[in-house]
Structure 1
């Protein structure tokens, strides 16, 4: 199996199309045509991670965080980023980063946190609005069923928990081909009217290429008439953060102790306790200060995240408890998620969970 084949599996799971615009995801180092000898699954790719890959005969590192985040103008080994990249290149080790593509996945980073906290009735905290499109096409009545089915098979017509959704309107289309045309129906140079079905389907944006390819191959006309619209609908299965509920309410102190034990946190920095029971819990792995207002709007009793600054804690405003459990701590189980997913898809080479602890923060 080649690196590109592994990438295809990962991107079918968490398309890089849905990564945040500031991010740097995908294949960062390496030749996509190289055969994979083994894959090391890690949270971060540091020089020590590359050493572990070498020692365990892995020529692919699947990393949550990208080691190259902003542009590199030189590779001299002068900092930890350059040293890791240079060592990977010298040893023919490819590096693939998934980061915010997995942050935004319904079964990604935040679902893993929610699972560890045993939250029920989970929902995306900040649903995405730029991920749903609509295709409208016009097909002769006799071909409508086959074209519609082909579009379904390519991934069109999927809405939340429902598949094969479409809206169909019977109408009459007209066209007149010029001298260079080869009309399937009617005669060139003559206006032709045809009974047609207008088919409308929504689809996830990352499926667009496959859906259009299927439309063109299944449609009978020489020139296929179609329209594409970007919808503003919120995607309830894609976005940042997650909110859910505990099976039973618990005190703030007991809940924070449970969180500390579950995530092996050296400490938890939190806002003032409100002496109210905890039932509704919002989570966002990594730096989540931007979602404080979303957590309040959703009625969360507590918001579990990381990298909160001094003034961020004021934003609690006695509406909820803000708890910073640490960046690494909040995302540490992500590599287990990736390992579990890939293990179900790949059996032709070894998949190895990295042993290297990449947490840069220590506690006294």
Structure 2
């Protein structure tokens, strides 16, 4: 097994196409064609984590957070980022980061938080814009069924709980091939008219290379006419944050104490209590102040996130309780989830859970 094989498994869980634009995900250090002899999974890649990989004979580190976030102009070991990269390169250890790709996956970070709290009826808090595209192409009517079915098999035409979705209409296509053409139907140098079917199908954007490849392979024409458009529609299964519900409402104080214990938070900061039971909960692992408005609009009684600033707590107003459980604490279960996922996909060697606590925040 090579590194790219591992990346392919992770891409099935959380396609990198859905990572946020500001992020730096994917293979950050190493050769994708290098053979893998061991995988260490961590939340952050620190020097101590690289040492742990060396000790366990792991030459691939799968990290939630990217160690390289901004551009590196020098590698002289002047800070922890440069020292990590230098040590990884010296020891032939690759580093892969998944970060906001997993944040935006339905079975990702926020689903893990919901599962820790046994929340039901999970759904995305902020669906990601631009995640759905549409293909429209034109094919001889005699070939429409075979092409349409090939596109369906490649993953096109899936909408919510439905598949094999398309829109089709018939018309007349014309073309005139020059002396270098080799038309499938008609004769070069002569204007040809053909009964054609226009086929429109939607697909998730990470499937575009596969959809286009299938189209070009299955379409009978020498030159294939097609259009790809980004839609404003959102995919209910792709986006950041998540909503869920408790089986039974809880008293606010009891709920907050339970959450603090569940996530082993050294400190749990919260906004003014609302004197009403907690039933509907919004969650967003990591820094989530940008989603306070969405959490309020969703009708949630409580929003669990981290890295809230002083003035963020005012924005709760009288609509919601905000709970800051800590950045590390909100994402801590992610690495165990990734170990379990990869262990089911890869059985030729052990997937090792890092024992290093990378939380930089300490509590008295």
Same fold at TM > 0.5? yes
Is the 8 Å Cα contact of residues 336 and 353 (structure 1) preserved in structure 2? yes
1:210-225, aligned counterparts within 5 Å?
A: 210-225=210-225
Deviation, structure 1 residue 334: 0.7
Runs of 4+ in 1 over 6 A off after TM superposition: none
Indicate conservation of the 8 Å contact 2:3/2:34, yes or no.
yes
Instruction: Report the Cα offset of residue 15 of structure 1.
Output: 1.4
Residue of structure 2 equivalent to 1:72 = 72
Name 2:98's counterpart in structure 1: 98
The total of aligned residue pairs comes to 364
Deviation larger for 250-259 or 285-294: 250-259
1:6 maps to what in 2? Answer: 6
Q: 1:30 aligns to what?
A: 30
Counterpart for residue 190 of structure 2: 190
How far apart in 2 are the matches of 1:325 and 1:45? 22
Q: CA deviation at 1:174?
A: 1.8
How many Å separate the matches in 2 of 1:15 and 1:287? 21
Structure 2: 5+ residue stretches without partners: none
Which residue of structure 2 aligns with residue 207 of structure 1? 207
Q: For 1:7-156, list aligned pairs within 5 A.
A: 7-156=7-156
Structure 1: gaps of 5 or more residues: none
Q: Does the 8 Å CA contact 1:130/1:232 hold for their aligned counterparts? A: yes
Give how far 1:183 is off: 1.0
Name the counterpart of 2:353: 353
Distance of 2:304 and 2:207 partners within structure 1: 33
Report the Cα distance in structure 2 between the residues aligned to 1:38 and 1:240, rounded to whole angstroms: 31
Q: CA RMSD in A?
A: 1.0
Calculate the TM-score normalised by the size of structure 1: 0.98
| TM-score using structure 2 length | 0.98
Instruction: Find the counterpart in structure 1 of residue 322 from structure 2.
Output: 322
Worse-matched range after superposition: 196-205 or 173-182: 173-182
Contact 1:36–1:349, Cα closer than 8 Å, also in 2: no
The residue that corresponds to 1:270 in the other structure is 270
Contact 2:27 2:94 in 1 (8 A): yes
8 Å CA contact 2:343, 2:350 repeated in 1: no
